[in-house]
Amino acid sequence: MSLYTITGAQLAFGHVALLDHADFSLEAGERVGLIGRNGAGKSSLLKIVADLAKPDDGLITRQHHLVTVYVPQEPEFEAGASVFDAVAGGLAHARDLLGEYDKVAHALAETPEGAQHDALLARMNTLQSSLDATDAWNWRMRVSTTLAQIGLDGDAQVGALSGGMQKRVALAQALVMRPDILLLDEPTNHLDFDGIRWLEELLLAQRAGLLFITHDRAFLDRIATRIVELDRGRLLSYPGNFSAYQTRKAQQLEVERVENEKFDKLLAQEEVWIRKGVEARRTRSVGRIARLVQMRNERAERRNVQGNVKLDVAQGEKSGKIVAELTDVTKRFGARTVVDRFSATLMRGDKIGLVGPNGAGKTTLLKLILGELQPDEGRVRVGTNPQVAYFDQMRAQLDQEKSLADTISPGSDWVEINGAKKHVMSYLGDFLFAPERARSPVTSLSGGERNRLLLARLFARPANVLVLDEPTNDLDIPTLELLEELLTDYEGTVLLVSHDRAFLDNVVTSVIASEGEGKWREYVGGFTDWQTQRDRAEQLAQRDAPKEPVKDAAPKDSAAGRNAQRSVKLSYKEQRELEALLGQIAALEGEQKTIAAQLEDGSIFTKDAQEGARLTQRYAQIDEELMAALERWDELESKGK
């Protein structure tokens, strides 16, 4: 049985149907990637599954006692809360039950036998059953274990953490609840490459059903076992990862195009026939007329594929052959060195990606390259005739109160693209903004729409150097692919900061990567090429590193040393139990690892859904057995100290 099913779902805002008799189900252990155009209704569907919103119509079926946890794009925490308290907030219900149990127990001890005593006793039994079912007795251990699993300091203040670390706290808050269904809205936002890789490993190890929204194609390829596309109100399911989806989607669109052409041709023939006059009005043609009316209705109700953004950048005059030359450049902020003796030459037409963890100094290096920031040491020589167009990830260039038209072309109804004039309404239409929205303020736009508007503004200005700081945030996949094509064909220079691995691979010709402590190095190729070269260099460094001699005797602080010391403090039976626990834990971990390998690629669910569900259930059962074994191990270990 599916964990969750919705049949015939309908949801509309105004005249736009976001869900139009849509069907969806989620099986145990599935990892479903939900994709679609900006504004298609993906977040609305996620909230419906989370039971935070209701559809206008449709039948919803969910398993009894199903635990569903939703992690929004921008998690919110109480001001001044510690990480421990924020994560423990996921167990608020269990803690409330425990608090009530303590109060009832106290009242029971002070109440003489009678009707009130019996009522308190019945309530205590009910609370005890609920506490047993939710494992609320061990809530502190659950929080501590989850913090250790995710690598968080429970004493830290959430408000002092970066966006990426706050995302980890939100995930810990969700996982401590042991969800049956985990719902994630843009989980890779604010995460750097190491954070994204960490998240991938974390989600692959989870056995909960997973439904997530993302535009990160590499993340979809690694995590998803099924792709569900929200397209014109319908939910279309494609087994496999994103690459498999692309192939099947292209085939489906081609079949749809051919069928629509046949239908339109037949409709045109019938329209010609009906206009012939007398012949069409004979009694024997009544059925044909009725069919024509039905065909007209079907054509009117057809929702065609939404048009794509039309991107074209206004090319400025050519810059000099050398765009920028950096020689032994160093930049410090206080005691911290952000750039340490970096040298590079950027040529006209180069497409360079800047990569590194959050806070490494990518934006600082960009400003040094453009001559906007002077180095403390070294020399920066900016080439001749640079015309820079800057895409700011914080969208600070957008005036929230201005209209869309004034943002693109202040004081004029025309924009000039490569020498050709274009009306601002038509130009906004190229970026999928309807004419009636041209006079709307920027503040009325969603995140993805603001990014599209910023791209429209950027490309309306003549430039020979494009500086793009996280341009892919909130853009849907079709717009991302179009932007890739535009930048690939662009004759000027591109400087790109992005955490979208597929986007970097498809656009850049070289990568400038942070290697820590202010060191930067340039690599030829895209993101994957940089990873390959970096990993090879690390392997060579490890191979050439001197090896430490192996000591024969087990030190006192090793596991063997501790066991030798502990054995004298445990009874013979407890020593044997401790030894058996080691083997039991190793066997359980081995079995869990084998099951994880079978479940990871998701193919088991397409070949044998029943076996996939059984393995998922066994995986969860091993988790419980491991927890019990580890708790007993910890108890014996503490006793033997």
The secondary structure of 560-622 as a DSSP string is HHHHHHHHTTS-HHHHHHHHHHHHHHHHHHHHHHHHHHHHHTSHHHHH-HHHHHHHHHHHHHH
CB 358, CB 162: distance < 8 Å? yes
- 349 conformational bin, left if phi > 0, alpha if psi -120 to 50, beta if neither: left
Q: What angle do CA 602, 603, 607 make, to 5 degrees?
A: 130
To the question of whether residue 39 is assigned a binding role by annotation, the answer is yes
To the question of whether residue 363 is assigned a binding role by annotation, the answer is yes
Task: Tell me how far apart the alpha carbons of residues 637 and 185 are, in angstroms, rounded to a whole number.
Answer: 42
CB 641, CB 557: distance < 8 Å? no
* Residue (of 36, 348, 367) closest to 213 by Cα position: 36
To the question of whether residue 167 is assigned a binding role by annotation, the answer is no
To the question of whether residue 285 is assigned a binding role by annotation, the answer is no
Task: Tell me how far apart the alpha carbons of residues 433 and 431 are, in angstroms, rounded to a whole number.
Answer: 6
DSSP 8-class letter at 307: P
Which amino acid, 297?
N
To the question of whether residue 359 is assigned a binding role by annotation, the answer is yes
Task: Tell me how far apart the alpha carbons of residues 451 and 457 are, in angstroms, rounded to a whole number.
Answer: 10
Task: Tell me how far apart the alpha carbons of residues 412 and 40 are, in angstroms, rounded to a whole number.
Answer: 32
To the question of whether residue 367 is assigned a binding role by annotation, the answer is no
To the question of whether residue 360 is assigned a binding role by annotation, the answer is yes
Task: Tell me how far apart the alpha carbons of residues 626 and 587 are, in angstroms, rounded to a whole number.
Answer: 10
CA dist 274 → 115, 263, 265, 523 (Å): 85, 17, 15, 68
To the question of whether residue 603 is assigned a binding role by annotation, the answer is no
To the question of whether residue 41 is assigned a binding role by annotation, the answer is yes
To the question of whether residue 58 is assigned a binding role by annotation, the answer is no
Task: Tell me how far apart the alpha carbons of residues 455 and 463 are, in angstroms, rounded to a whole number.
Answer: 13
To the question of whether residue 356 is assigned a binding role by annotation, the answer is yes
Task: Tell me how far apart the alpha carbons of residues 361 and 369 are, in angstroms, rounded to a whole number.
Answer: 12
To the question of whether residue 287 is assigned a binding role by annotation, the answer is no
CA dist 227 → 84, 251, 360 (Å): 35, 15, 34
- Furthest-apart CA atoms within the chain: distance in Å: 109
Mark the binding-site residues, compressed into ranges: 36-43, 356-363
Mark the binding-site residues for ATP, compressed into ranges: 36-43, 356-363
